[in-house]
Amino acid sequence: MLPPGGGREAIEEITDVLPPYTGGGYSDPKPKMPPPPPRRIIPEIKVPIPRPSRVAMITAGAFVAAGALYSLDLALTTGEIPRGVEVAGIDVGGLDAQQVDAVLRHDLDRKLEESHKIIAGEVDTNFVPSRAGLGVNYELTIAGLPKQSWNPITRFASYFTTTEGNLVTTVNESKLNKAMDKIKGVAQRDKVEGSVRIKDGRVVPIYPLNGQNLEEDQARTALIDGWAEDAPIRLPVHVDPTGVTQDAVNFAINGIANPAATSDVSFKGKDGEKATLEKSDIGSVLRFEPDGGGGLKPVYDYDAAVKILAPQLASTDVQATEATFISTGSGVQVTKSAEGEIVDWPKTLDQLPDLLQQTIGTREADAIYKKVQPKLTQQQANDLGIREVIGEFNIGKLDWWSGVNIRTAGSLLNGTVIKPG
C-alpha cells in the first residue's frame, strides 16, 4: 500500500528510506527504475522596466509648451511691426504699416500744434513745434521700423523689452532759425551780481542771478530730437556764475543795511552847531561790494559824507592865518600868523560805522577837531630877511575879458611867498 497522498512523491520517499537490496532471497520480477535526478530550484529573475526621469519629463513638457506658445504667438501677431516697438513713446507693436500711419498721425499731428515746455538753465519758456518749422516724414519713419522676426528667442524677449523706432523729423530751416532767435532772447542774459542798495532810506536787495548763454548747435538738436516727447526739453547753456551768494545778500540786509537805514546820524560841533547825515542820504555814504569769498562787505564813502557834513560845521572851523608882507613907506612889515582849528573829518567819520549799527537811542557823536598850523609863520617870514620893495607895477586900459583873467590870477598869487632855493 502507498502511504496517504501517494504518488510519485511517496515512492521517492520510500526509496530514500530503504536501502537497495543486495542479496538474494527474492527477486523482483520487474527491473529497478533509476532514481530521478535531484530537483533544482531556479531563482526568479526580475528585469526592471526603465521609466522616464522627472527632469526628462519636465524638459519634454517645456518643449511641448514652448512649441504651443510659439504657434499661438505666430497666430496672434499678424501685424508687420513686432511687439514692443514704440515711436516717440507711442506703442505701434503688432500693427501693419497702414495702422501705424494712422496712429502716429493721430498723436503726432496734435503734438506738432501744442505748446512744448523748454528749460534753459534757470529759465523756462515754450515753443510750438509746427511754428518752429518742425514736421514728420511718416513714410520714412514707418519704413525704418523693425519687421517681425521668426526667431523664437527674439519673439519671447519682446514681451519684456521695448524697441524705440526712429522718428524722422522734417525741418524748415528759416522758421527754426527765427524760433531759435526768440528762445535766445529769453534764455540768454547777463550776470547780475548780488548786492544791497539803500535808496531814499529804503533797503533794496539785489539778488544774484547767474548769467547764461545758449549753446546754439546743441540746443537746436535738442529741439529737433525732443519735441515729440512728453517731458520738457532741456537746452544746454553756458553759465556765468555770480561771486555773491543769496545768503550773503540776506546777511548784509539784516546785519548791516537795515540797522544803517534806521534813522539820521549827527555830529555835534562847537558853539552848539550840529551836522546831520539824514536817513535819505545814508545810501550815498554806504554801499556794498563783493568780498571775494561769496559775501558782501560794507564800504563807507567818507568823501561823500564830508561833502554833506562839512558845510554844516564850516562856521566852527577857525582857519590858520599865515604871515605875509605889507609894503610901508619905510620898508616892509611882516604881519602876524595864527594857529587854526578845524574839524578832523577822517577821525570824526571813523565813528560812522558804529553809529550806523546803533538801533537804540539817538545816533549822535562829537565832531573831533584838530589844530592847523599856518604854512608861513611870522618867525619864518622874518627869517627870510625881506626888508624892502624891489619892484612893483600897475596894469590899466585892458579889455574887460583880460581884466577878468588878471583879477583871477591876482587873487591866486596875492600874498604868495616864494622862498629862496
Q: How many CB atoms neighbour CB 395 within 10 A?
A: 9
**pLDDT for res 213:** 96
74: left (phi over 0), alpha (psi -120 to 50) or beta: alpha
Interatomic CA distance for residues 131 and 110, integer angstroms: 13
Cell numbers given for 74: 505666430
Mention every residue, 6+ apart, whose C-beta is less than 8 A from residue 163: 82, 84, 85, 86, 146
For 134-159, b/e burial (b = at least 16 CB within 10 A) is bebebeebbeebeebeeeeeebeebe
**pLDDT for res 404:** 76
For the full predicted model, state whether its pTM sits above 0.85. Answer: no
**pLDDT for res 60:** 62
**pLDDT for res 1:** 44
**pLDDT for res 11:** 43
Interatomic CA distance for residues 176 and 219, integer angstroms: 11
List of E strands, 154-285 = 163-165, 169-171, 195-199, 202-206, 211-214, 233-235, 237-240, 265-268, 274-277
Interatomic CA distance for residues 387 and 333, integer angstroms: 8
309 close to 351: Cβ distance less than 8 angstroms:
no
Interatomic CA distance for residues 101 and 138, integer angstroms: 7
Tell me the three state secondary structure of residue 268.
strand
Nearest to 350 by CA among 305, 396, 314, 307: 305
**pLDDT for res 311:** 97
| C-alpha torsion 9→14→20→25, nearest 10 | -130
Burial of 372 (0-12, 13-18, 19+ CB in 10 A): middle
Tens place of pLDDT for every residue, the chain, 421 residues?
444 544 445 444 444 444 554 544 445 555 566 666 666 666 666 656 566 667 666 766 665 555 555 455 544 555 578 778 889 999 888 888 999 999 999 999 999 999 999 999 999 999 999 999 999 999 999 998 888 655 565 555 555 567 888 999 999 999 999 999 999 999 999 999 999 999 999 999 999 999 999 999 999 999 999 999 999 999 999 999 999 999 999 999 999 999 999 999 999 999 999 999 999 999 999 999 999 999 999 999 999 999 999 999 999 999 998 888 787 777 788 888 889 999 999 999 999 999 999 999 899 999 999 999 998 887 887 777 777 777 777 776 667 677 777 778 777 777 677 777 6
SS (H, E, C) 96-157: CHHHHHHHHHHHHHHHHHCCEEEEECCEEEEECCCCCCEEECHHHHHHCCCCCCCCHHHHHH
Cell numbers given for 211: 548769467
288 close to 297: Cβ distance less than 8 angstroms:
yes
Residue-by-residue DSSP string for 230-244:
SSPEEEPEEEE--SS
342 close to 317: Cβ distance less than 8 angstroms:
yes
Counting other chains too, the contacts that 171-176 makes at CB distance below 8 Å and 24 or more residues apart are: 171/133, 171/134, 171/135, 171/224, 172/133, 172/134, 172/135, 173/133, 174/133, 175/131, 175/132, 175/133, 176/132, 176/133, 176/134, 176/220, 176/223
Mention every residue, 6+ apart, whose C-beta is less than 8 A from residue 64: none
